[in-house]
Structure 1
């Protein structure tokens, strides 16, 4: 029952209810007070505008809906005016399809506007009218669009920010899942399946963080805010820091611990301490005012972990088990810092928070990913090098072929073919293939369900109510699970036709046939007409990643030198490199869905991305250690290491685009820097032995921290250096495999 209540309260369900409610209310009001034709036109207008409606800056949201509405109306008028002359209809439709598809160059919101405006062409084929009624129907269409906008904006004023709340809750749950996988890998470091799950969760969380930023960090919502939104802003900042903290522990999982029983006892205690953090995150993700808090005592688990580590120290001199103790001590520090972050999150969620100042607004807006709407982009992408230009050309070809098939075979609902192409066709072949499968299987499943229901129930009231429910569910799942959405929308469309006609079997047959034709056309045109395979753009993303990693290394170095904890520049560099890593993982997934003939160098690419992921995690580990510990002054050897790491990364950049980066000079060799850091560590270790010989069994905490820093920093620098070399070699192998 709880799941049903959460579903009904969810953002996507309420959005689906808004769309269906707007369309049905327009139909009912027109039917009872004006005439049904007005309601039909308004319902189409509602559908077009709703498809372009996504959250974000209010002026961009409203602007996007208005552009979608008038572009859709323009496409409708142009197609209707040329409907009676095939020699005119085809070029006019081609122009409208190309223009609407091409505006996707302006980003995600523009891609939704593009799809919405294309629906205007489908509406023209679905609802042809005589020339003298085109103006009237267009007016109804535009009125419907403004009807939806008015209802959506009014509801926004009187309802809580559901989407924002859901994003915070989802991020809490997924962070808990990431931490849980991390704990499992700490105890079972050879589990490759666990690493893959962590990588998937890392990509998902990176996308969630970006979505949260775009929901929270816009000036009009930041100005004068307090209360829940201010809390969510602070919670999000802590969650992103916690995310980096968890990712930074991935290099530690390479430690192969085969210790004594005391070591295993200490490891088990720290794991339980970490697991308590997972439970707390899950509790915070629920309605924690009513749900029971985690039963375990965090303070007690912390004390047990510390006691277990101290017991291990008693077994043998510290100098003889330095590696094991450093591993456990670092793990304990990690667990304690995780708990501190979760404690901050809990306090922010339960405490009254003051408003935000103008200076803070300016600082936080730097974290927004801005979309450029400059006119020059329109001209810049008029090239076969542009994936969107190619996509627009393919869309035109597919639509024209679909129209020809419809006319040649006199299909009664040609617009179903066109609509299928509009919905399925994507710039990338992999996404088109995925959507084709989802659309086809969803349509067949929906047709079967509709056929069964019609066989048993012919009552008009039942059909109308079920149509309302299935349309609502179709719009609910359109962004979450397209196959399910296609199933529900097929049921709804068949029910609508059954209400209007008596031949249900014929409607079902045409619906399946038209969907198959549209899906096949989308796939074939994407494969044969100006295809743009994923491997062709991977070089650009790899170049962006390496450049972002160099910036990340730079800010880590500056943080170590200045001892300035997590400033804005550090957070911006971290955000950029994690986002691009997420793009690389997404590109790999798309590439795996493409034909094998186009998966050039796929194995080498997987090795390369694995190295890139390890490099990012190692860099995060270094950055996190510097932030959460009091560190000594940085040595010249530290700088030398980072110079060699940057030079290796610049060398990798030059493999992609020769001459793009120049190496920086160094005053000592990497071997000299490595030897100096290792010698420094052994000097400290030797000092520790002498202290033990004198009877000092418990050195000062500050000295212990110095020993730990010397070992971990030198080890981490050398690991990052080795990874930078491996990245270079893996990139060479990948480029060679590509030919």
Structure 2
């Protein structure tokens, strides 16, 4: 247990977010302490707040991404800080209106992309912090806050230019680690003691994580204009690693398709055991791969052991019947292809081959960039993000109005902060964040009280507050509950150091946090998001991508002319569509009023969609990776089988998008599919 835990801790501290947390705390503390001791306390606090909030907008990306974040972050922070602090200074009711305007605008700009969404969310938190600090001088406070944000963005940009491939290397390694988990899960597919329906559910969920990780790599790499320059070798090397990751993913998705058939065909003897042992070696080899620093590839002894297992499988297959022999050899070939990729992925060379797409087409594989026209198209309640933006505007205005009526307006910042951090489009996620924030606040308050009773020395309290701020930054992405605990301790200890008393703050922290949590839940119920519409759109899109992918595979087979560009692009679109469909179905399943009625049928659809995707990828790699040419009859039979599954998925998705009336049909079709495939 301890031997397994220690490497996990080491890996955690080697992640990009962990290194970023160290960079961020130094960027906050060094100039902040300098200003505090040699200039002015309030200015130092405003500067540190600006630096902290800007640091929270920084997500992995290339140089252009960092510039874009700064381009949005600096003016939004300045505008928000100045307008809110001026309204506070003059005790004007316009602060309520400002909160509503900012709540709507900063939420709906999420349509411009994930990075802009984060900046908008942190700009709302700027408003909350400004109310909590209640600055005496609006202009001094705003300039200090903006200077802190500018300082952080300068550090971030300098780092991006000094280490241009930093985020990319972490993203690639993250993808490799997700592949290792996928291989470990595949081991159970060959274990007759593990129910298949559990494995399919887990595979579908893991598919989303792997797909997201690959999309992160594409997002960083494929928008690099230097890829179009043949004379830039470094970018070509990273592009080669992306190709290898995608090829590895395809092989793992299509290592086999019908596990019921495989278990039945290969039962008895040592075949299934040997396959599980081979996958275990591949999983461990994948987990230890590194693409930066000290390169580590496929250990020679492990590769030799794997090759021995594969040869034993081939030898065993020669003594079996034709069906078992062909199936075993097919699995062995795919396992060997996986091993070859693992052998080469850490090598710092661009191993270009005929499957690469032309430079002019590379940008087509990156996620499309949205503009302001996208926002205009979504200005109606038919849009989920529009409904969410209206909900946020009303909730923030309500929280601001309550604060305006209180004698101590600054304590209302806890209401606003809780709404900003907790209220999410999905009821289920909102409830989860509510639980984490309330429990985290209680634990943080309890620990703070113990520290304040036991420690009276201000220097020690300041050191503990700084440590807790670092731990907040460290766990901000991995675990929201833990980060709430540490930021609560940081704020309470900081308030004690700054004002000398926290009696009022202790009660208001929890009371107003609880009130904000209640508002967030009521907002979900009062202005719900129509998950049915998103399910309809995403499932329709998925079905069309399935059909297009199948037609392209059939066309390539019939013409014997493989178009690698089209196949790669359609596979990418299908994988992305599958991830979106899976996510929307998850939201529908967890919808508070009617979601539970559709849970079983949603699982049926997700399982069916996963099987269709695996079959399509399997047909594709038969031509592109393994170079195998199936007989015409067999190809036709497999294509018709997939077409039947697609037709059933389409029927299942159209029956009210509740899927309830299709339960029997879905179960019948999956049973029939398993029978046909065997």
Normalising by structure 2, we get a TM-score of 0.88
3-state secondary structure, aligned to 1:370? coil
CA deviation map 1:165-199 (0-9, x unaligned): 33222322221221232232134274322222222
Distance in 1 (alpha carbons) for counterparts of 2:265 and 2:59: 54
Matches within 5 A, 1:501-516: 501-516=499-514
Deviation at residue 485 of structure 1 after TM alignment: 1.2
What secondary structure is seen at the aligned counterpart in 2 of 1:480? coil
In structure 1, the partner of 2:142 is 138
Relative distance call for 1:630 and 1:219 in structure 2 (3 A) is closer
CA–CA distance in structure 2, aligned partners of residues 104 and 610 of structure 1: 31
User: 1:396-415 deviations in whole A, cap 9, x for unaligned?
Assistant: 22112212333444355211
2:221 is the counterpart of 1:216: yes
- Inter-partner Cα distance in structure 1 for 2:85 and 2:175: 47
| Residue 608 (str. 1) matches residue 610 (str. 2) | no
Distance 1:112 1:253, change over 3 A: same
Q: What corresponds to 2:108 in structure 1? A: 102
Residues 554-595 of structure 1: CA deviation (Å, up to 9, x unaligned): 221233134445612211110111111111222233233320
8 A Cα contact 1:474 1:485, kept in partner: yes
- State the match for 1:450 in structure 2: 448
Mapped to 2, the partners of 1:737 and 1:190 lie a distance apart of 24
Structure 1 equivalent of residue 670 of structure 2: none
Question: What corresponds to 2:367 in structure 1?
Answer: 369
Provide the rounded CA distance (Å) in 1 between the counterparts of 2:78 and 2:439: 32
Cα distance change, pair 401–458 in 1 and its aligned pair in 2 (3 A): same
What is the correspondence of 1:642-657 to structure 2 with a 5 Å cutoff?
Answer: none
How many Å separate the matches in 1 of 2:366 and 2:248? 20
Of the three residues 462, 465, 475, the one matched with 1:464 is 462
How many Å separate the matches in 2 of 1:729 and 1:421?
A: 40
Give the 3 Å change call, closer, same or farther, for CA 193–285 of structure 1 in structure 2: farther
Shift of residue 293 of structure 1? 5.4
2-structure distance, mates of 1:212, 1:290: 20
Q: What CA distance in whole angstroms lies between the structure 1 residues aligned with 2:352 and 2:650?
A: 48
1:344-379 deviation line (CA, Å, top 9, x unaligned): 32xxx13444999x9954332221102212x32332
Distance 2:445 2:127 in 1: 25
In structure 2, what is the Cα distance between the partners aligned to 1:247 and 1:490? 43
Identify which range, 481-490 or 62-71, moves more after superposition.
Answer: 62-71
Q: CA RMSD in A?
A: 3.0
Number of the residue aligned with 2:28: 23
Between the aligned partners of 2:28 and 2:107, the Cα distance in structure 1 is 25
CA deviation after TM superposition for structure 1 residue 279, in Å:
3.0
Separation (CA, whole Å) in 1 of partners of 2:550 and 2:586: 27
SS at match of 1:601: helix
Note the 1:241-640 alignment, pairs <5 A. 241-255=247-261, 257-258=263-264, 264-285=269-290, 289=296, 294-295=301-302, 296-312=304-320, 321-345=321-345, 349-353=346-350, 361-373=359-371, 375-411=372-408, 412-528=410-526, 530-565=527-562, 567-599=564-596, 601-632=598-629
Cα distance between partner residues in 2 of 1:114 and 1:122: 13
Instruction: Indicate conservation of the 8 Å contact 2:63/2:160, yes or no.
Output: no
Distance 2:275 2:64 in 1: 50
Which residue in the other structure is 2:74 paired with? 69
1:376 to 1:239, Cα distance in 2 relative to 1, 3 A: closer
Aligned residue runs from structure 1 range 675-694, under 5 A: none
Establish whether residue 111 from structure 1 lines up as the match of residue 117 from structure 2: yes
> Which position in structure 2 is the counterpart of 1:234?
240
Q: Give the superposition deviation at 1:22.
A: 2.1
Deviation by residue 1:701-735 (Cα, 9 ceiling, x = unmatched): xxxxx6xx467534422421331232133224454
Structure 1 residue aligned with 2:176: 172
Instruction: Give ranges in structure 1 of 5+ residues lacking alignment.
Output: 313-320, 633-705
**Aligned with 1:716 (options 631, 638, 652):** 638
Q: How many angstroms does 1:114 deviate by? A: 0.9
Greater Rg by CA: 1
Q: Is the 8 A contact 1:45 1:69 kept in 2?
A: no
Q: Give 1:637's aligned residue.
A: none
- In the alignment, the residues of structure 1 paired with residue 496 and residue 623 of structure 2 have an alpha-carbon distance, to the nearest angstrom, of 68
Inter-partner Cα distance in structure 2 for 1:224 and 1:505: 65
- Superposed CA offset, 1:111-147 (max 9, x none): 11211221231133123334xx322222222211211
- Please, which runs of 5 or more residues in structure 2 have no aligned partner? 1-5, 662-678
Which of 76, 83, 87 matches 1:78? 83
Q: Does 1:46 align with 2:51?
A: yes
- Once the two structures are TM-superposed, the CA of residue 205 in structure 1 deviates from its matched residue by 0.5
How far apart, CA to CA, are the structure 2 residues paired with 1:153 and 1:285? Answer: 25
CA distance in structure 2 between the partners assigned to 1:431 and 1:6 by the alignment = 28
What's 2:64 paired with? Answer: 59
CA contact (8 A) 2:274 2:309 kept: yes
Q: Deviations over 1:589-637 (max 9, x none)?
A: 32333203355634333322222221111111211223244455xxxxx
Relative distance call for 1:410 and 1:141 in structure 2 (3 A) is same
**Conserved in 2, the CA contact under 8 Å of 1:48 and 1:69?**
no
Match of residue 699 from structure 1:
none
Q: Does 1:194 align with 2:199?
A: yes
C-alpha distance 292-547 of structure 1, shift in aligned 2 (>3 A): closer
> In the TM superposition, what is the alpha-carbon distance from 1:290 to its structure 2 partner?
10
Q: What is the aligned residue count?
A: 647
Counterpart-to-counterpart distance in 1, 2:95 and 2:216: 41
Partners of 1:49 and 1:66 within 8 A in 2: no
Mapped contact 2:532–2:657 kept (Cα < 8 A): no
Q: Following the alignment from structure 2 to structure 1, what is the Cα–Cα distance between the partners of residues 414 and 31? A: 23
Are residues 256 and 24 of structure 1, via their aligned partners in 2, closer, same or farther at CA, if it must alter by over 3 Å?
Answer: closer
- 8 Å CA contact 1:467–1:496 kept in 2: the answer is yes
Is the contact between residue 604 and residue 733 of structure 1 (CA under 8 Å) also seen in structure 2? Answer: no
Residues of 2 paired with 1:359 and 1:606: CA distance? 36
| Between 186-195 and 553-562, the greater mean CA deviation after superposition | 186-195
Q: Distance in 1 between the 2:167 and 2:250 partners?
A: 24
Contact 2:589 2:598 in 1 (8 A): no
What does the per-residue CA deviation read over 1:283-332, in whole Å, with 9 as the maximum and x for residues that have no partner?
325966499655453332232221111133xxxxxxxx332223222222
Q: Bigger CA drift: 203-212 or 118-127?
A: 118-127
**CA distance in structure 1 between the aligned counterparts of 2:298 and 2:445, rounded to whole angstroms:** 42
Structure 1 Cα separation of the partners of residues 243 and 489 of structure 2:
44
| Whole-angstrom distance in 1 between the partners of 2:285 and 2:297 | 14
Once residues 155 and 488 of structure 1 are traced to their aligned partners in structure 2, the CA distance between those partners, rounded to angstroms, is 27
Helix, strand or coil: the match of 2:605?
helix
